[in-house]
Amino acid sequence: AFDVVTYGEAMVVFAADQTGPLSQVEHFTKRAAGAELNVAIGLSRLGFHVGWRSRLGDDSFGRFLRDTLQTERLDASGVVTDPSRPTGLYLKSRCDDGSDPQVEYYRRYSAASQLSPADYDPAWFRSARHVHISGIGPALSDSAYELALCIAEGARAAGQCMTFDPNLRPQLWRSREEMVERLNRIAAFADWVMPGLAEGRMLSGRDTPREIAEFYLGLGVGGVVIKLGAQGAYVRTAQGELTVPALPVACVIDTVGAGDGFAVGFISGLLEGSTPAAAAARGNCIGGLAIQVIGDSEGLPTRAQLDALEAGR
């Protein structure tokens, strides 16, 4: 039995070693990436038993990612190798000024884009206490969206706690309308929906954190967390609302992965029975760590590192 299960696409990222346009960068550092994999890695480092499900190509990138799964102690029993498709790849520019980097994907027709309801193993998914879904998995293809619906419906039917991070990637969708419609359909099954402010605006058509939260509560969602970057996180349930301040960060190296770090902190807090406010405070803390490193997951702390940080606060 798992504490948490999730599914999505893992990719290899080549993160630029120098600032400037990607076309001019000569040297890159290779890392494992993929929003759901980042969340899985972070939770595993905190000592949770985590299952991650996906499809990888039978290529060097796929083998590199399998090694990562092993090093990070993730359950890969449901990871399929597809010899007919490549593993996804992306390039990421380096910005030392806190702005979002330029990203170029090479993932169309990847092995993970073939995820489908055939990958839904009810016993595997339902053996977990918590199910985490991000909006990137459903963006990969129609069949990967259908898989997200199976997982979300299954989680609701089994009474599992489900978090949903919309993680908007408009460039992966056919249209904005379809992205909004499909992601809100999945969100409606969640206990917690956790968009960034701009994402919440796009998905709900509302403006303020309170209005966005009300939109989701109206869909039947249990609670809403809106990530406000340096302003922290707004938390709303039927019981009330509050804003939890961010971790002060002096030097932002790479904003990619902040939301995944937040998810790690927030989900780990929920699993430990913390209040939503305490879980969001931990989310802010780990999100703040993730933006101080170039890769997506090397900032994610071990349990001992997190304990030391929380003791010092």
Long-range CB contacts for residues 238-243, cutoff 8 Å, separation at least 24: 241/210, 241/213, 242/277
Beta-sheet pairing, 233-237 with 240-244: antiparallel
Q: Which of 59, 4, 61 is nearest to 34 (CA)?
A: 61
CB of 39 to ligand KDG, least distance (A): 9
Q: Does 165 bind ligand KDG (CB under 6 A)?
A: no
Binding mask 238-277 for ligand KDG (x = CB under 6 A): ------------------xx-xx-----------------
Residues 35, 65, 144, 247: which binds ligand KDG (CB under 6 A)? 35
Q: Which residue is nearest to ligand KDG (CB)?
A: 33
- Write down the least CB distance from residue 129 to ligand KDG, Å: 23
Q: Is 169 in the site for ligand KDG (CB under 6 A)?
A: yes
Q: Which stretch binds ligand KDG (CB under 6 A): 28-36, 61-69, 227-235, 241-249?
A: 28-36
Residues 257 and 282: their CA atoms lie apart, in Å, by: 15
- 235 sits in the region (left: phi over 0; alpha: psi -120 to 50; else beta) called beta
Q: Which helix (H) or strand (E) holds 129?
A: strand 128-134
Residues acting as catalytic residues: 260
Nearer to ligand KDG, 33 or 111 (CB): 33
Among 184, 216, 296, 299, binds ligand KDG (CB under 6 A): 296
- Collapsing DSSP states into helix, strand and coil, what is residue 221? coil
Euclidean distance between CA atoms 32 and 196, whole angstroms: 23
196 is an interface residue for ligand KDG by CB under 6 A: no
136 is an interface residue for ligand KDG by CB under 6 A: yes
The neighbouring-strand residues paired with 226 are 234
Footprint of ligand KDG (CB under 6 A)? 33-35, 38, 136, 169, 256-257, 259-260, 296
